[in-house]
Structure 1
């Protein structure tokens, strides 16, 4: 029993560390991607894929005992909902979207391509989820 509790704590720590790495990579890509002469597609949709991975990792921190596929579906629903929310406009919301925090959290312009990038990021995060690998290791 103690091993399971310790393993869950380790998984939670690894997921939190992965979340922080993904956030740092996403911010670095948005800030320096063009300065590094990275292609537009890499900067734009790489950031969206990392945002999707971030959503997946956030969801894992709250519903850690769910199956990875279920977590991925929840994360995709959240990501698509945020993207669809971009179609809703009010003056105060549009003003918030013009801030750095608003652009990073909510985005500015609706794009179907972003949804694909989110799905790719969520799938990658699910595939490399530290919790998934730890559970597979314990079953052996």
Structure 2
């Protein structure tokens, strides 16, 4: 089974559930002041959102989109103008856009994406074993 190259159909209910769980865990990390776990979970959430939106996208493409999105958001933190800094001052704006650029955040995003890849491969392997080949 070569999921990296092959197109697979994802289950939106399962992915939506995973997204909700990851959001909950991410918000909990803010309460406990976990240094990079929140960034890892944020990237994991983005990975599963990509899979939720594009249910038939190749794993490789989903990985590229999620990684690019995370990196663009992080690099956008180097840009400071009144309008975007006002958005960042709101709770939702701060959660989505972040505040300060950090190279270590990019590493944390990479870890989150890799966790997403591993989980997706496990999900497809379990579904293949249970229901047969699920590729389109």
Query: 1:29 & 1:95 partners in 2: Cα distance?
Result: 24
Query: 2:58 & 2:127 partners in 1: Cα distance?
Result: 10
The 10-residue stretch of structure 1 (98-107 or 21-30) with the greater mean CA deviation from structure 2: 98-107
Structure 1 runs of 4+ off > 4 angstroms? Answer: none
**Structure having the larger proportion of residues in helix:** 1
Query: 1:133 & 1:86 partners in 2: Cα distance?
Result: 38
Match of 2:36?
A: 45
* CA drift at 1:134: 5.1
Native 8 Å contact 1:19 1:54 kept in 2: yes
TM-score by length of 1: 0.80
Match of 2:3?
A: none
Native 8 Å contact 1:68 1:132 kept in 2: no
Verify: 1:132 aligned to 2:124, yes or no: yes
CA RMSD of aligned residues (A): 1.9
The 10-residue stretch of structure 1 (98-107 or 47-56) with the greater mean CA deviation from structure 2: 98-107
**In the alignment, which of 59, 65, 74 is matched to residue 50 of structure 2?**
59
Residue aligned with 1:44, SS: coil
Native 8 Å contact 1:56 1:72 kept in 2: yes
Verify: 1:23 aligned to 2:17, yes or no: no
Aligned length: 123
Q: Deviations over 1:118-140 (max 9, x none)?
A: 11001101211275335543239
